[in-house]
């Protein structure tokens, strides 16, 4: 089963042929919004009209959300999430705060289904204000709650919020999951001390910690001075990379950096026209799938969640057009990366990267599907 990311807004598509034209007068529009907001059991046409009225619907829906219960509350929160803009962050928090559970609880598991509002704050709220709201909770929370609260801090660029994440990232005894999540996004702040630390701590290991028994110690296929039995990338030697290749290499390293000891091979499908380059961050051998296809594994009955004896990585299966989409005068790039570890165990991530100076950094990620 595939899970779509950010499932919190109602459809914002307005089918004009399915309802009456909107009034032209702002006063008439406000009156229509007030009337519809108080209508019980809204149909889809009425919901679409409220969304089409845009921010004029916010105030009446906000008032209604303060007293609504059950399914009605869920409906109103969905509509608010569809029309709210960043300047509504304080108002959204005012609605969400009374619904929140104690500080050690998941903020998405709120009474009255406040998860819709929490998700809006995470993705669309004013980043620095959201960071200030959630930072005190994050600092006091236990480990599992820190995992849930971290997404509310990721978009902030304010010093205290960045400092709290940076302290976790720099702590070698810190939790690998939290460190991996911070590693992939903290560069968006652009702070020189953060960028310098990230560059200094990037994975650059070219030798396997455990020799590959399937490769001969007497062979050096890529002629890089490391035998195939010890080479993380037996088919790729160091070389100059194009901007596209630098983006791909950086994006992949950001996802693999905290993968930990793992001797299984990673079969990478390099995009068409891209010659295999060295991949960093994986502890096992990295093999171009077109040169050495993954072994066939017979399906088994019983445990369908078992891990395969290898990992497959693909850049292009879940995106259309160029594998790297550049923007902002080629200072920003977006790529899609899918990784599969076994039956019903994999997913795809959309990674946003930004170029600071001459180096690329991962600054954001979004899960596009999970299995």
Who has greater pLDDT, 121 or 106? 121
Q: Provide the token pair at 259.
A: 């993968």
Give the strand pairing for 266-269 and 311-314: parallel
Give the strand pairing for 359-370 and 266-269: unpaired
In whole angstroms, what is the distance from residue 122 CA to residue 134 CA? 10
What confidence score (pLDDT) does residue 59 get?
96
Q: Is a pLDDT exceeding 70 seen at residue 107? A: no
Listed range (195-199, 221-225, 339-343) with the worst mean pLDDT: 339-343
Who has greater pLDDT, 43 or 106? 43
In whole angstroms, what is the distance from residue 113 CA to residue 155 CA? 24
Give the pLDDT band of residue 157 (cuts 50, 70, 90).
Answer: very high
pTM of the model: 0.85
> What is the Rg, in whole angstroms, of the alpha carbon atoms belonging to the chain?
24
Task: Please tell me what DSSP assigns to residue 222.
Answer: T
Give the pLDDT band of residue 19 (cuts 50, 70, 90).
Answer: low
Give the chain's largest Cα–Cα span.
Answer: 82
Who has greater pLDDT, 335 or 345? 335
The packing angle between helices 70-83 and 89-96, to 10°, is 160
Count, residues in the chain: 371
Q: Is a pLDDT exceeding 70 seen at residue 87? A: yes
């Amino acid at each position: 089963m595939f899970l779509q990311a950010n499932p919190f807004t109602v459809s914002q598509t307005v089918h004009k042929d399915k309802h009456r034209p909107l009034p032209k007068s702002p006063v008439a529009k406000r009156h229509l919004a007030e009337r519809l907001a108080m209508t019980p059991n809204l149909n889809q046409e009425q919901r679409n009209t409220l969304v089409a009225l845009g921010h004029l619907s916010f105030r009446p829906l906000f008032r209604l959300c303060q007293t609504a219960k059950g399914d009605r509350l869920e409906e109103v929160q969905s509509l608010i999430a569809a029309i709210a803009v960043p300047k509504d962050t304080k108002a959204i928090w005012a609605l969400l705060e009374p619904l929140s559970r104690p500080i050690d609880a998941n903020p998405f598991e709120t009474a009255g289904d406040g998860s819709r509002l929490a998700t809006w704050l995470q993705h669309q709220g004013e980043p620095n204000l959201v960071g200030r709201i959630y930072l005190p909770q994050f600092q006091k929370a236990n480990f599992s709650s820190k995992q849930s609260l971290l997404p509310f801090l990721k978009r902030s660029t304010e010093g205290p919020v960045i400092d709290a994440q940076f302290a976790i990232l720099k702590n070698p005894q810190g939790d690998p999951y939290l460190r991996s999540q911070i590693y992939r996004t903290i560069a968006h702040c652009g702070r020189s001390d953060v960028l310098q630390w990230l560059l200094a701590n990037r994975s650059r290991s070219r030798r396997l910690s455990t020799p590959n028994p399937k490769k001969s110690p007497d062979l050096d296929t890529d002629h890089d001075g490391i035998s195939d039995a010890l080479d993380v990338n037996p088919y790729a030697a160091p070389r100059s990379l194009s901007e596209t290749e630098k983006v791909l290499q950086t994006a992949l390293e950001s996802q693999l950096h905290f993968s930990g000891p793992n001797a299984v091979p990673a079969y990478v499908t390099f995009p068409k026209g891209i010659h295999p380059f060295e991949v960093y961050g994986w502890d096992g051998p990295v093999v171009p799938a077109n040169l050495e296809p993954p072994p066939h594994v017979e399906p088994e009955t019983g445990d369908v969640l078992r891990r395969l004896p290898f990992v497959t990585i693909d850049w292009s299966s879940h995106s259309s057009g160029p594998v790297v989409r550049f923007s902002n005068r080629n200072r920003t790039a977006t790529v899609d990366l899918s990784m599969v570890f076994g039956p019903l165990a994999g997913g795809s991530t959309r990674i946003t990267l930004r170029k600071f100076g001459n180096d690329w950094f991962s600054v954001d990620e979004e899960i596009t599907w999970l299995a």
